[in-house]
């Protein structure tokens, strides 16, 4: 197969994949986006968020921090926060360290929604692993990691792309 055909097939797969329902499944009255926001907020609150830049803990998160973590514009986050607060999934509290700031905190209903959403999402992944098998699932993880690194470093410029190729070469050498 020539590179043009491979490129066309790969682009087609990316387009098809983007149309699938890969986001957290719809649970209760939550949209997938709202479920995702609650999961992000939970990860911030529990200190399990690797991409978070602010303080972690049971004091919740500022909208700006949530926006940055989710990679969504602050006005969009604010709209979702308003809707989720109205329905009892979270509350806003003044930050005790900075009275000008407001933190968003999960309620018990919000925490239960996170548990339900997480269970549904894990079920999907478990079914995917059962469908692919353990070996192909591990191969998929490795390939997705490489794709992620390629796009992450490719966007950064030539120096990062060179570094990426060197790291890939090092990993290939270790595998031999």
Give the Cα separation of 109 and 173 in Å (integer): 50
Q: Which residue has the higher pLDDT, 1 or 55?
A: 1
pLDDT of residue 53: 47
**CATH of region 32-121:** 1.10.10.10
- In terms of C-beta density within 10 A (0-12 exposed, 13-18 middle, 19 or more buried), how is residue 14 classed? exposed
Q: What would the pLDDT profile of 13-57 be if each residue is shown by its tens digit? A: 888 877 676 666 778 899 888 988 999 999 888 876 555 544 445
Q: What would the pLDDT profile of 121-142 be if each residue is shown by its tens digit? A: 899 899 999 999 999 999 999 9
Torsion angle (degrees, nearest 10) of CA 109, 111, 114, 119: -100
In this structure, what token pair is assigned to residue 125? 């992944």
pLDDT of residue 120: 87
């Amino acid at each position: 197969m020539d590179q043009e055909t491979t490129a066309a097939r790969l682009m087609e797969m990316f387009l098809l994949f983007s149309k699938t329902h890969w986001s957290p499944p719809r649970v209760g009255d939550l949209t997938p986006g709202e479920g995702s926001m609650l999961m992000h907020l939970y990860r911030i609150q529990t200190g399990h968020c690797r991409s978070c830049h602010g303080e972690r803990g049971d004091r919740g998160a500022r909208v700006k921090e949530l926006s940055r973590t989710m990679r969504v514009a602050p006005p969009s986050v604010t709209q979702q926060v308003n809707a989720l607060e109205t329905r009892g999934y979270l509350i806003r509290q003044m930050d005790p360290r900075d009275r000008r700031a407001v933190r968003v905190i999960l309620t018990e209903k919000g925490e239960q929604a996170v548990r339900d959403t997480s269970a549904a999402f894990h079920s999907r992944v478990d079914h995917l692993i059962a469908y692919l098998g353990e070996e192909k699932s591990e191969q998929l993880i490795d390939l997705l990691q490489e794709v992620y690194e390629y796009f992450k470093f490719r966007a950064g410029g030539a120096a990062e792309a060179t570094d990426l190729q060197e790291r890939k070469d090092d990993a290939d050498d270790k595998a031999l």
